């Protein structure tokens, strides 16, 4: 078997890895993921003909870095196993296209033109293609993703009613900024809308009706679906919004807007999703002995959990949140009836522990 001379395999048209691997009209994700891979090939002195995805996976998980745009420092930037697998899938898809291309096979035959017989040229080409297939096969590189059957309470915040009240008392309501922020937090907590849905709310969305009930209109939720969220006994959040609208002089258009530093001038444009998260960052809560930032999605989970605990059924919660399935809604509510999973006293301890010492338990203590 003739082994390919990799030093002689740089193509006349695809002399750079970028030229060979990047599609003619890549979408944003393809351009980013394949671009990262091309950079790695250059960094390690590899050709696109020797992809070695197992080695690239190790780089993504443990060695990848990026440049901090603010400081210029090179900092570690490893990817999660899930994200790394997505990157690898994009690269495999590109190699699959290349390997099925007659143009690539023809080009490889051109590189083997120096070999004396057709059989040797074919062996040369087949060897390269087989090696690429081996290096890019899904079984050759796949990050292990741990599937969590349960999520600890500490990983997501679901506030109790008293904590929601404490959060709402944090903004300084003697300032225009504070009035806006308390109204914003109230709407998030009382409707469970996503932050992107919040910033899209306009004045005429606030008081729609559904079956005679006052409801918030979400004009375009996830997957381009419109829905109405009844306020019910949480309609008091509208009083907070009305105070904000009055003080801000807003009668139409976007409800939640930015404010200039003079605390008097309100912008005409709506807040961005990033701005909403920055607002929430200003009001951490002291929970279990540490300061915790409550993000907008935490308030969405808070809405789901408290609605359930106060007697609202899952299907109605799902409709209000705009979820496709009840399973998704259940993940927002979190672990329920955990006391039913607490095991009974199935085994009796043979020893008691006192003062750091074992002592034998009396037999009648087991009765």
Q: What is the mean pLDDT of the chain?
A: 84
pLDDT band at 354 (very low <50, low <70, confident <90, very high): confident
pLDDT for residue 288? 82
pLDDT for residue 16? 66
pLDDT band at 152 (very low <50, low <70, confident <90, very high): low
User: What is the distance between the alpha carbons of residues 350 and 341, in angstroms, rounded to a whole number?
Assistant: 24
pLDDT band at 26 (very low <50, low <70, confident <90, very high): confident
**Any residues with CB less than 8 A from the CB of 326 and at least 6 apart, and which?**
314, 315, 318
User: What is the distance between the alpha carbons of residues 206 and 256, in angstroms, rounded to a whole number?
Assistant: 12
Helix/strand/coil percentages in the chain, nearest 5: 50, 10, 35
Tell me: the pLDDT tens digits for 172-229?
Answer: 999 999 999 999 999 999 999 999 999 999 999 999 999 889 999 998 877 778 999 9
pLDDT band at 146 (very low <50, low <70, confident <90, very high): low
User: What is the distance between the alpha carbons of residues 266 and 259, in angstroms, rounded to a whole number?
Assistant: 5
Tell me: the pLDDT tens digits for 80-133?
Answer: 888 889 999 999 999 998 888 888 888 889 888 889 999 999 999 899 899 988
Tell me: the pLDDT tens digits for 225-270?
Answer: 899 999 999 999 999 999 999 999 999 999 999 998 877 889 999 9
Domains present along the chain, CATH in parentheses: 6-140 (no CATH), 156-334 (1.10.443.10)
Instruction: Name the one residue in this structure whose structure tokens are 């997505």.
Output: 86
If DSSP codes are grouped into helix, strand and coil, which group holds residue 230? Answer: strand
What's the whole-model pTM score? 0.54
Measured between alpha carbons, how far is residue 174 from residues 78, 278, 284 in Å? 44, 20, 19
């Amino acid at each position: 078997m003739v082994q390919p001379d990799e030093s002689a395999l740089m193509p006349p048209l695809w002399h750079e890895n970028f030229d060979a691997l990047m599609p003619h009209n890549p979408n944003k994700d393809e351009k980013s993921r394949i671009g990262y891979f091309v950079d790695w090939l250059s960094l390690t002195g590899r050709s696109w003909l020797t992809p070695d995805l197992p080695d690239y996976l190790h780089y993504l998980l443990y060695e990848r870095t990026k440049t901090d745009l603010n400081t210029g420092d090179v900092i570690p930037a490893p990817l999660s196993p899930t994200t790394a697998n997505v990157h690898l899938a994009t690269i495999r898809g590109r190699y699959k296209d290349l390997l099925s291309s007659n143009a690539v096979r023809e080009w490889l035959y051109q590189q083997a033109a120096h070999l004396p017989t057709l059989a040797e040229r074919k062996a040369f080409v087949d060897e390269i293609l087989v090696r690429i297939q081996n290096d890019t096969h899904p079984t050759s590189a796949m990050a292990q993703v741990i599937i969590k059957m349960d999520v600890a309470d500490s990983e997501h915040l679901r506030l109790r009613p008293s904590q929601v009240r404490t959060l709402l008392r944090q903004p300084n309501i003697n300032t225009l900024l504070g009035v806006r922020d308390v109204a914003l937090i109230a709407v998030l907590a009382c409707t469970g809308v996503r932050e992107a849905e919040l910033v899209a709310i306009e004045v005429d969305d606030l008081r729609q009706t559904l079956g005679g009930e006052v409801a918030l209109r979400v004009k375009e939720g996830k997957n381009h679906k419109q829905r109405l969220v009844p306020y019910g006994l949480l309609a008091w959040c509208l009083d907070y919004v009305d105070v904000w609208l009055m003080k801000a002089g807003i009668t139409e258009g976007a409800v939640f807007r930015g404010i200039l530093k003079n605390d008097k001038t309100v912008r005409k444009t709506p807040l961005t999703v990033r701005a909403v998260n920055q607002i929430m960052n200003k009001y951490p809560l002291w929970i279990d002995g540490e300061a915790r930032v409550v993000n907008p999605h935490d308030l969405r989970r808070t809405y789901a959990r408290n609605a359930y605990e106060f007697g609202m059924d899952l299907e109605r919660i799902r409709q209000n949140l705009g979820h496709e399935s009840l399973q998704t809604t259940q993940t927002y509510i979190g672990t329920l009836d955990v006391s039913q999973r607490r095991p009974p006293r199935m085994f009796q301890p043979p020893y008691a522990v006192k003062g750091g010492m074992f002592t034998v338990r009396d037999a009648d203590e087991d009765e």
